[in-house]
Structure 1
């Protein structure tokens, strides 16, 4: 398999269209047409990880965090980022990152954290906006069903647990084919009035290319009239963080001890302990202090995240127990999530979990 064939599988789980605008996801080092001998999955791509890939004969590294984030101006080996990129290029190793694309999807970072903590019925905590596209087009009555079926196959009309969703209204279209036109209906130089249906379909942003290709391929007209808009609707099946419930309420200290045991951290920074048991738990892997407000709005008793600053702990306001368990600790299950997914998709391929410790934070 090539780099592109394997990363296409990753993008089925975490489409790049779902990544945040500030992010740098995708193939960062290497060529997409390179045949892959083995895949190494890691949270961070450090120099030691590249050396591990060399030792294991893996020429594709799937790294959750992007090694190139703000761009490179030189490759002199002055920084660890430059050394990683230079060494990977020297050894023909490709590096791919999915980062916030995997943060935002069910089955990704936060789903893995919920599973590890025994959180049941998790739902998206902060639904993502701008991820729904709306297509409006016009088609002759007799071609409506064929076009709709092609659009449905491409992913249009599918949102959440529903598919084949559309709205249609009848009307009359008109057009005047020019001398150079090759009209499917009507004649050059003659005004044509045609009974048409106006079709409305919505779909997620990752399906845009496939839907437009289906539209242009299966629409009978030489020139296809269509409108494509981005909706500001929040999409409840996609976004940052998750919130769910424990099987039963537990004392706050008991839950904090569970966090220490499951996440393998020696200490937890937290806000004031509530006096009542906790059950509804919000999680956001990585730096998640921006989820404090949404967690309170969702009725969570606890927010489990990392990288919380001093003044942000006050925002719990005795309504939310904020547990800063560490950035790495909240994302550590991501590697296994990717490993399990790819192992199911390509069971006979050489896929390895990195054994290199990449957590830059140490405890004394």
Structure 2
């Protein structure tokens, strides 16, 4: 039987499920490229599994993983295609991954900023972190490399994220607060997604200690090897009080820094440029960054994966042939390109 001119029924169910959970109309089309990026023709002779692999970035390692697992489709948070392509060749490593996936019959879907924008999405997950909804006092098992030499290497520590709530907007908190989108999504907003938009501003009823917020972020993100913090000169972490927090997954400069009015007391995001961070602390604000994708990966692992499995089951109905927990897997090869190297006993003092 020759390949058809459409993706597999399972992959189609995954795409429909993602569009229900994270409508593509909520993505920022001014720069983003969301949707079905690679539609691999369905060939039943390839015997792919009814499974989807979730990743933050579609790298060669993740493509290898999906091909070895025989997944039908990859959901990659970041689009592997951002701009128009004039050719697709084997000379470009990323294009090579796309060609290999197409050959294997594996499709690729990217939701990106639609996941950020929806109520209960990635931005609200970060709000939940600073508001104390998500966290574990138990430090998780570190799965990174540790050497007993004088140079102890902790590169891209892989950690087991604590299990979060599935979005706690409107829930009672021991730290009363309000939250709203920094840049509300333009009308018309799909029914059920009122309040969507880029970034969030959290306003606490009572100012919080910066040191306490750092502790909450450490707990919720699996106690990473380090957290980057910038504060105004002359201030200390122990002395700073935080009433407002600007939150944005990934690279938050264009969302938080361009917000109307004064900057929030704290900017919490994946990364800011040197000049953005400098401008923030010169205006009296503090900054916390975690590396770009470390503000995103935990949501994919513990929230999106579970929501997606449930909606896929609804989409498939009686044709669902495997348990919900077997439909969705989170990539084991995915990691942030940056890591932390701890210099061990070379550090003096």
TM-score bracket relative to the smaller structure: 0.5 to 0.7
* Count of aligned pairs: 266
Match of 2:273 among 309, 316, 337: 309
Alignment match, 1:132: 188
TM-aligned CA distance change 1:303 to 1:19, over 3 Å: same
> Structure 1 298/340 Cα, relative in aligned 2: closer, same or farther at 3 Å?
farther
- The 2-side partners of 1:34 and 1:126 are apart by 45
Indicate the residue corresponding to 1:354 in structure 2: 331
Q: Tell whether 2:19 aligns with 1:11.
A: yes
d(CA) in 1 for partners of 2:75, 2:205: 34
Question: Separation in 2 of the partners of 1:93 and 1:129?
Answer: 32
Q: Provide the rounded CA distance (Å) in 1 between the counterparts of 2:76 and 2:115.
A: 11
Corresponding residue number in structure 2 for 1:323: 288
Equivalent positions of 1:281-320 (< 5 A) are 281-293=245-257, 297=261, 300-316=264-280, 317-320=282-285
2: distance between equivalents of 1:14 and 1:103? 9
* Cα distance, 1:298 vs structure 2: 7.5
Q: Supply the distance in 2 between the matched residues of 1:308 and 1:132 (Cα, whole angstroms).
A: 31
CA deviations 1:201-221 (Å, max 9, x no partner) are: xxxxxxxxxxxxxxxxxxxxx
Q: Please list the CA deviations of residues 181-235 of structure 1 after superposition, one character each: whole Å capped at 9, or x if unmatched.
A: xxxxxxxxxxxxxxxxxxxxxxxxxxxxxxxxxxxxxxxxxxxxxxxxxxxxxxx
Q: Partner residue of 2:33?
A: 24
Offset of residue 259 of structure 1: 2.6
Q: 1:116 to 1:253 in 2, by over 3 A?
A: closer
Corresponding position of 1:89: 102
Q: Equivalent residue for 1:341?
A: 307
* Residue equivalent to 1:57: 70
Structure 1's unaligned 5+ residue stretches are: 134-154, 162-236
Q: Deviations over 1:26-74 (max 9, x none)?
A: 1111248778621111111111112211222211101100111113333
Distance apart, 1:122 and its partner CA: 5.5
Q: 1:267 aligns with which of 222, 227, 230?
A: 227
Per the normalisation by structure 2, the TM-score is: 0.67
Could you tell me how far 1:294 is from its partner in structure 2?
Answer: 6.0
> Are 1:302 and 1:321, in contact at CA under 8 Å, matched by a contact in 2?
yes
- CA, structure 1 residues 248+326, in 2 after alignment: closer, same or farther (shift >3 Å)? farther
Of 95-104 and 29-38, deviating more is: 29-38
Specify every segment of 5 or more residues in structure 2 that has no aligned partner in the other structure, as ranges: 1-8, 134-172, 314-322, 342-349
Q: What is the CA distance between 1:248 and its match in structure 2?
A: 6.2
TM-score by length of 1: 0.65
The alignment partner of 1:9 has SS state of: helix
- Please tell me whether residue 71 in structure 1 is matched to residue 90 in structure 2: no
Instruction: Work out the CA distance in 1 between the residues paired with 2:42 and 2:20.
Output: 18
**What is the RMSD computed on CA atoms of the aligned residues?**
2.9
Higher mean Cα deviation, 23-32 or 282-291? 23-32
Q: Does 1:256 align with 2:214?
A: yes
